[in-house]
Structure 1
Amino acid sequence: MLAKKVPLLQNVLLRVSRTASHLARQKYDVIVVGGGHAGTEAAAAAARVGAETLLVTQKIHTIGALSCNPSLGGVGKGQLVKEVDALDGLCGRAGDWAGIHFSILNRSKGPAVWGPRAQLDRQRYRHFIQSELLSTPRLTVLEGSVEELLVTETNPEEPGRHRVTGIRLANGSHLVSASSVVLTTGTFLSGSLFMGQTTSPGGRIGDAPSSAGLSHTLRERLGLRVGRLRTGTPPRILKDSVDLSLAQLHAPDKQPTPFSFLNTHTRCKPEEQLPCYLTYTTPGVERVVKESLHLNCHIQQDTKGPRYCPSIESRVLRFPGRSHQVWLEPEGLTSDLLYPQGLSMTMPPDTQLRLLREIPPLHRAEIHTPGYGVQYDFVCPTQLSPALQVKNTQGLFLAGQINGTTGYEEAAAQGLWAGVNAGRSALSMPPVSLSRTESYIGVLIDDLVGRGVTEPYRMFTSRAEFRTSLRPDNADLRLTLKGFEEVGCVSSSRYQEAVRVRDSLQDALTALQSLALSSSSWKKMLGNIGISETKSSSLNGMDLLQYNNVSFEMLASVFPECLSPYMEFSQRLKIEAVYRPHCDLQRKEMERIRREESLSLPQDLDYLSLPVSLSEEVREILDRVRPSTLGAATRLQGITPAAIVHLLNYVRQTGQKEKRAHRNQLGQKEKREREEEPCARNVSLPQ
C-alpha cells in the first residue's frame, strides 16, 4: 500500500509565509534558497534532523515543479532515487504517487544495473511535494527572492575565511539570520534564456533569475571560482496534433515497481498506466538545423552543455547523417500535451515547428510552448567539502545544478545530503559523509568535490566501481539504518521497517545455507536445473539460487516450512545469491588497483580505440592527457574508478599478449638456429 495520502493543500497553507513580516521568527537554524528538487529535499532533511528551517522560493506554487522532462529515475538515476528514499527523502514517494508509466530499464542485463523509471503526472508530483513540505514540522516556507548572503570574516587575522550569518531579502531591508544556508539556485544563478536570436534574463520560462547580488557575493566577497554552463528543453506539443499511429508504441511494465521501500504498489493501477511512443529524426530535421544555425545564438556559444542529453542541434552537428531517437511522452493523465524527449532545441519558434513537421508522426504538430536554452552560473565543486559545505565559508552549503550537475535525481541526492549537514552544523553536530563504496550518493559527491566538472555531470552505473553491491534492491539495508543511527534523518517508523527487513533477510539466508544436499539429490527434487553430473560436492540453497532457472519459489515449494515465511523477499534473495560471488570478486579487483598504481601505461596506447567498456568521455580524457602510470590516471578529472578497472585489465591483457608474441618470436628464432646447426657441423674445416 502507499505509505501516506496527500493532504489537501488548503489544509496546510498555514505553514506558508507570503512576506517576511509574517515570519514567526527572524532567526532560523537553516535557510534553504530555492524550491526545486535540491531545495525541497534539503529543507525537508534539515527539518528531519531537528533544525528550525526556512525555505525561501520565488513562487510557492512552483515548488516541486518538473521544469523539464516529466519523468524520474533511469539507469544510475533510479539508484539515486532509491537511496534518497532509503534516507527518508521525498522524491521516491512522490514518484510513486504521481507515476503514470512505470518501467525497469536495462532489464536484459543484471539487476545491479536495472534502472527504475517512471513517467510522471506533473500536477500530481507538484501537489505531493508541496503537501509534504507544508506539513513538515519545523519547516516554514517563504515566498520571496534573496538579494544577497550575509557573511562575516571568522578571523580578521586570517583573510579569506568567512562565516555565513543569514540572508537579505530583495525589495526591502528584511534580514533573516541563520547558522547555515543552503543554496539550491538551479539554473537561476545569473540565468539567461535563449530562443533564436532573442536573449532574456531568467532561469525558467516565466521566472526571473536570482538576484545579481547573490552571484556577486559568491564571486567577489567569497572569492569562489564560478563558471558557466548551459542546458535546454524541448517544445511541448499538443497531443491531438500528433499521429501516434506512425510511432512505435512502448507499453509500461504490467506490474509497476514502486520507488519507495515503504510502498508495495503505486497509486496508478496497472490498467491506468499510459504508453510512450518512439519515433526517429529524418534527413529533413538535419536540413532544418543546418539552415537555421545563423538564427541560433545559443548553439553558437562555447559554453559547455550536457554531453548525455544534448540538443538536437548538437546531435546533428556532432553526428551528421544519423537518425536519432525521439520519445513522445505523456505529461499527465489528463494533460493534452506531449513531451518530445530528445528534441531539446533553441532555434526560433517558427523554425522549431518546421523541424517538428519533418518527423512523420509530427507532420501536423502544433506547439503549445516552444523550446528554449538556459545559461547559468555554477560554482566549481572542488571548492566544497564532502559535506557539500564551501571550504572557506562556515555554514554555507551548495546543492544541485549550482554544483555543475544535471538532472532531478542528482539534485535531489545533493539536496538531501547538504540539508542533513546544514542541519547538523546548525545544531553543533559533526558533519557526516557517505563513501563511494556504500552508495551512489557517495560516488556523486566524491566525483564532484574530488574531480570537479567541465560539463554538466550526469550519474551512470559505470561511475560506481562497486555497482554490484550498490543495487537498487538493497539501498534500504545500506542506508536506512545508518540514516537513523548515525545521521538522524530517518523516522523511527521507517527504521523499524528496515530492521524487520534486515532480520528477515538474514534469517532467510541462514535457512537457505542450511539446506545442503548433493547435486543428485537436488536434481531428484527439482528436475533438470543445469547441475553438472560430475559435481560431487554438496550444494546449499544459496548455491542453487545462482542458477538462472532456479527461483526462490521453487525451493520454497520443496521446503515450505523452512522458506515459506520469506516469500515477500523472494526476488531480493535471488538477487543476493546471484551477486554474492561477484561482490567478493569486485572487492579483490579494487585491492589489485591499489597495488598496481605504479604500473606504467604505454605512451603509444591508442586510447580512442579501446573497448566500449570504457566510455567515449573517458577515452577522450585519457587520449588528451596520456598519463604515465595507472596512479596518474586515477587522479584525472572525469576518470572513474570503474574505468580504471577496465583500463588495468586491458593493459595487463595486452601486455600478456605482447609477451606471448615475443616468446613465440624467440622460439621461432631458436628453432631456426637449431635447424642450421647440423649443417654447420657437417662442414669440413681446413686442417
Structure 2
Amino acid sequence: MLTKKLLPVQSFLFLVSRRLGHLARQQYDVIVVGGGHAGTEAAAAAARVGAKTLLVTQKIHTIGALSCNPSLGGVGKGHLVREIDALDGLCGRAGDRAGIHFSILNRRKGPAVWGPRAQLDRQRYREFIQSELLSTPRLTVLEGSVEELHITEPNPEEPGHHRVTGICLAGGGCPISASSVVLTTGTFLSGSLFMGQTTSPGGRIGDAPSSAGLSQTLRERLGLRIGRLRTGTPPRIVKESVDFPLAQPHPPDSHPTPFSFMNTHTHCKPEEQLPCYLTYTTPGVEKVVRETLHLNCHIQQDSKGPRYCPSIESRVMRFPGRSHQVWLEPEGVTSDLLYPQGLSMTMPPDVQLRLIREIPALHRAEIHTPGYGVQYDFVCPTQLSPTLQVKSTQGLFLAGQINGTTGYEEAAAQGLWAGVNAARWALSMPLVALSRTESYIGVLIDDLVSRGVTEPYRMFTSRAEFRTSLRPDNADLRLTMKGFEVGCVSSVRYQQAMRVKNSLQDAMAALEALALSTASCRKKLPDICVSENKNGILTGMELLQYKDMSFEMLASVFPEYLSSYMEFSQRLKIEAVYKPHCDLNKKEIERIQKEENMSLPQDIDYLSLPVSLSQEVREILDRVRPSTLGSATRLEGITPAAVVSLFNYVQVAGRKKRVTHRNQQDQKEERGEELRERNASLPQ
C-alpha cells in the first residue's frame, strides 16, 4: 500500500517508468483511452487477461480521481461493485481502503436489494488505484491526448466493417499500433462546462476536453449516431462554516461491511468512521432558483440530464413546493470540505451562495469551489454488441459515459468487461458476453445495447428480473469461476471462491439432511413459532426460512453437523430464505416468455396501475400504449420486473372481467326467466 509520504516519489517513478516503457515499444495488444473508472478497470482487466496494454490519459496524477461525489455503491450500484470485485476488479478493494463511512442501504427490505455503500476519502482512493496500476504486469501508462483513431477501410470480404489499428496522439509523433482500442472518454468527448451564462470547453473543471478529431472520427468516419447528454456537480462547502446542530446526524454502521470478497474487514476502524448529516431545502431555495433561471444557460439546453440525480433547478421545476433532501458528506479524513449531495447546480457563483444560505444548516456557509454543469457527446449504445464492441468496427470497444450511462459503478462495470473482450480480441480468443440471468453487469449491458438510452442510464435493482438470485452476497459464486475461465481472475481469488462454494454446498447438504418432526422442532427450539408442515417434517433449510431463526441457533442444537460452517452463517441464512423465491421468480419469467403475444387491453388506465409499477413506467406505458406484452418489453425504460407486474395485473384484471361478465350473463338470464314466468302467468 502506498503511504502519503511515498506517494510523490512513487508517482514520479510511475511516470518515468511508464514513459520509458512507451518509448521502447510502439506496438500494443490493447490501448485504453481515458483514466477514469471505466478506463482503469478496462486497462487492469486487459492486462490480467494477458494483453500488452497501454493506458493513455491526459493527466497521470488524476487517475482514479472521484470527479463528482465521494462515495461508492448504493442500491443497485452496490451490486455492481460486488460483481466487479468478484471479477477481480479494482474499485471494491479501493472502496475498502478509502472508506470513511460504511452503511448498508435498504435494510428494511430483503438482502437481495440491500445496497452496500461507503463514503470515500478522495486522496486515499486515488492513491490506491494508482498503486494498483503501477504494480500490474503488462500495463503501461502514458500521459497524452488522443487526436484520432487509426481505422482501416472495410474488408471487401466483410463489407460494412472497419477495423481499428491504433491511435494518433495530439501534438504529432508516431502512431501507436494496437489490435484493439477501448474508448472510455467519460464526459470529455467534446465536453463543455457551464456556470451561469459562461461556457468553456472541458470535461471536468481544470481539464480540457478530448480532441475534436476523436469525436469527428466516430461521427463522420465510422458513421456512428452521436447524441448529447448533460450532468452536473454541486459546490464544495467549507466544513467549518456549517452549523451542524441544525442538521440531522446519520452515523455509519457500527460494523462496517467490506465491498471485496477478499477482505474480512475494512481499512477504516469502526470508531474512526465519520458521520454524514441530513438537511432539507426551504421555500427560499425555490425562490432563488425561479428568480435566476434566465441566468442559467445549462438548464435551458436541449440535452438530457440524469433523471435520478437531477440538479436542484430541475427538482424545483419538476416538483414545485416540495422540500428536498440535502446530504452533507465528508470528502476525506483530513479534508476541510463537504459535498452537499442533492444540490447539483449550474447557476452563477454568487447565486449559488445565495441559494446555499437559504438552508438553515448552511446559513453561514462558504463555498470553496462552485458547482458547474457538463455537456458531452455519447454514442448511441444500440450500435454495440453485447461484448461492448462497436458492431461496424472490429477491435473498437466503448465503455462508461460514452455509452450513455451515469455513475462510477456503471462505468467501472462496463470498463472491466470491455477490457476483457478487448484483450481476448487482440489475443485471437472468442469474445464473451454476460447474461442478464447471471449478473447485474449483464442486465446493464443488455439494457444499453438492446434498448438504448434517451437520458443517462442508472442501475436499479428493479431493472433485474432475477434479482432474488442476483444478490450482493453471492456475486462470487455467480461470477468468479466464469472470470477465471475468461482470464481476468487470479488463481488466488479463484481458489478462495472455490473454497467458499464447496463449503456452502456441503453446509446446505447438511441442512437438507437434517429432518425434524414439528414436535421435535418445538421441543428443541422453543423460542421459534414453528407452524404445521403438510408432511410433519422440516429440514434445516426450511427451518432457516423462519424469520427468528438464525444459523447460530440451529448450530447450537446440532453442533456435530453444523458448527464447522459458522463462517458462512449469514450467507446460509440468506440462501435458505431466498430459495423458494428464486424458484418462483424463474417460473414467472418462463411464463412471461410464453405469453409474449398476449394482447393488452387498449382501455387500461396505466396511470392508475398498482404501486408496484414506478411512475416512470406508468408514464411510458400511457404514452405508447403497446398492443402486446412483447411490445411492452421492448420499450425503453420498461424493466423486466415491470413486465412481470404488468402481466400479473392484466391476468388478474382479465379474470375479474370474466367473472363480472359471467355474473352479468347470469343476471340477464335470471331476468329473462322471470320475464318469461310473468308472461306465462298473464291471461291469454
Instruction: Give the TM-score taking structure 1 as reference length.
Output: 0.97
Alignment of 1:27-42 (within 5 A): 27-42=27-42
Letter in 2 for 1:59: K
Name the residue aligned to 1:561: 560
Number of aligned residue pairs? 681
* Distance in structure 2 (CA, Å) of the matches to 1:497 and 1:91: 19
Letter in 2 for 1:548: K
Letter in 1 for 2:218: L
Name the residue aligned to 1:470: 470
Letter in 2 for 1:557: S
Deviation (angstroms), 1:652: 0.9
1:250 is aligned to 2:250: yes
Name the residue aligned to 2:543: 544
Deviation (angstroms), 1:558: 0.4
CA contact (8 A) 2:238 2:336 kept: yes
Name the residue aligned to 1:172: 172
1:498 is aligned to 2:461: no
CA contact (8 A) 2:19 2:141 kept: no
1:353 is aligned to 2:382: no
Alignment of 1:103-502 (within 5 A): 103-156=103-156, 160-485=160-485, 487-502=486-501
* Distance in structure 2 (CA, Å) of the matches to 1:257 and 1:639: 32
Q: Deviations over 1:216-270 (max 9, x none)?
A: 1101111111000000000000000000110111111110000000000000001
Deviation (angstroms), 1:535: 5.1
Name the residue aligned to 2:72: 72
Letter in 1 for 2:393: T
* Distance in structure 2 (CA, Å) of the matches to 1:536 and 1:208: 70
Name the residue aligned to 2:88: 88
* Distance in structure 1 (CA, Å) of the matches to 2:423 and 2:162: 18
CA contact (8 A) 2:180 2:426 kept: yes
Q: Deviations over 1:52-85 (max 9, x none)?
A: 0000000111000000000000000000000000
Deviation (angstroms), 1:423: 0.4
* Distance in structure 2 (CA, Å) of the matches to 1:436 and 1:21: 39
Name the residue aligned to 1:614: 613
Q: Deviations over 1:511-531 (max 9, x none)?
A: 101110101101100104122
Please give the secondary structure, in 2, of the residue aligned with 1:204: coil
Q: Which moved more, 1:659-668 or 1:487-496?
A: 659-668
* Distance in structure 2 (CA, Å) of the matches to 1:174 and 1:199: 34
Q: Deviations over 1:594-620 (max 9, x none)?
A: 111111111121222222222222222
CA contact (8 A) 2:148 2:167 kept: yes
CA contact (8 A) 1:13 1:134 kept: no
1:16 is aligned to 2:15: yes
CA contact (8 A) 1:20 1:174 kept: no
Letter in 1 for 2:501: R
Name the residue aligned to 1:54: 54
Q: Deviations over 1:179-220 (max 9, x none)?
A: 110000000000000000000000000000000010011011
Q: 1:419 to 1:533 in 2, by over 3 A?
A: closer
* Distance in structure 2 (CA, Å) of the matches to 1:404 and 1:533: 53
CA contact (8 A) 2:64 2:130 kept: yes
Deviation (angstroms), 1:634: 1.4
* Distance in structure 2 (CA, Å) of the matches to 1:276 and 1:618: 32
* Distance in structure 2 (CA, Å) of the matches to 1:161 and 1:515: 60
Q: Deviations over 1:572-606 (max 9, x none)?
A: 00000000000000110011011111111111212
* Distance in structure 2 (CA, Å) of the matches to 1:611 and 1:37: 38
Deviation (angstroms), 1:674: 3.5
Please give the secondary structure, in 2, of the residue aligned with 1:468: coil
Q: Deviations over 1:300-335 (max 9, x none)?
A: 111100000000000000010111111000001111
Please give the secondary structure, in 2, of the residue aligned with 1:150: strand
* Distance in structure 2 (CA, Å) of the matches to 1:428 and 1:153: 21
Please give the secondary structure, in 1, of the residue aligned with 2:664: helix
What is the percent sequence identity of the aligned residues?
81
Q: Which runs of 5+ in 2 are unaligned?
A: none
* Distance in structure 2 (CA, Å) of the matches to 1:20 and 1:309: 42
Name the residue aligned to 2:682: 683
* Distance in structure 2 (CA, Å) of the matches to 1:678 and 1:216: 85
Please give the secondary structure, in 1, of the residue aligned with 2:516: coil
Letter in 2 for 1:81: V
Please give the secondary structure, in 1, of the residue aligned with 2:299: helix
Q: Deviations over 1:484-518 (max 9, x none)?
A: 02x11000000000000000000000110111010
Name the residue aligned to 1:642: 641
Name the residue aligned to 2:525: 526
Q: Deviations over 1:327-358 (max 9, x none)?
A: 00000111100100000000000000000000
Letter in 2 for 1:181: V
Name the residue aligned to 1:657: 656
Deviation (angstroms), 1:462: 0.3
* Distance in structure 1 (CA, Å) of the matches to 2:507 and 2:246: 50
* Distance in structure 1 (CA, Å) of the matches to 2:358 and 2:20: 51
Please give the secondary structure, in 2, of the residue aligned with 1:119: strand
Q: Which runs of 5+ in 1 are unaligned?
A: none
Letter in 2 for 1:228: R
* Distance in structure 2 (CA, Å) of the matches to 1:158 and 1:676: 78
* Distance in structure 2 (CA, Å) of the matches to 1:32 and 1:97: 25
Deviation (angstroms), 1:426: 0.5
Q: Deviations over 1:556-577 (max 9, x none)?
A: 0001111011001000000000
Deviation (angstroms), 1:158: 5.7
Please give the secondary structure, in 2, of the residue aligned with 1:320: coil
Q: Deviations over 1:120-146 (max 9, x none)?
A: 000000000000001100001101111
Letter in 1 for 2:658: K
Q: Deviations over 1:395-441 (max 9, x none)?
A: 11000000000000000000000000000100010101100000000
Deviation (angstroms), 1:20: 7.9
CA contact (8 A) 1:16 1:140 kept: no
* Distance in structure 1 (CA, Å) of the matches to 2:658 and 2:494: 56
Please give the secondary structure, in 2, of the residue aligned with 1:23: helix
CA contact (8 A) 1:30 1:179 kept: yes
Deviation (angstroms), 1:653: 1.1
CA contact (8 A) 2:378 2:401 kept: yes
Q: 1:241 to 1:591 in 2, by over 3 A?
A: same
Q: 1:218 to 1:322 in 2, by over 3 A?
A: same
Alignment of 1:91-102 (within 5 A): 91-102=91-102
* Distance in structure 2 (CA, Å) of the matches to 1:298 and 1:224: 26
After TM superposition, what 4+ stretches of structure 1 lie above 6 angstroms from structure 2?
4-7
Please give the secondary structure, in 2, of the residue aligned with 1:517: strand
* Distance in structure 1 (CA, Å) of the matches to 2:342 and 2:437: 33
Letter in 2 for 1:352: Q
* Distance in structure 2 (CA, Å) of the matches to 1:625 and 1:148: 40
Name the residue aligned to 2:26: 26
CA contact (8 A) 1:232 1:374 kept: yes
Please give the secondary structure, in 2, of the residue aligned with 1:623: helix
Q: 1:533 to 1:391 in 2, by over 3 A?
A: closer
Please give the secondary structure, in 2, of the residue aligned with 1:277: strand
CA contact (8 A) 2:21 2:140 kept: no
Please give the secondary structure, in 2, of the residue aligned with 1:297: coil
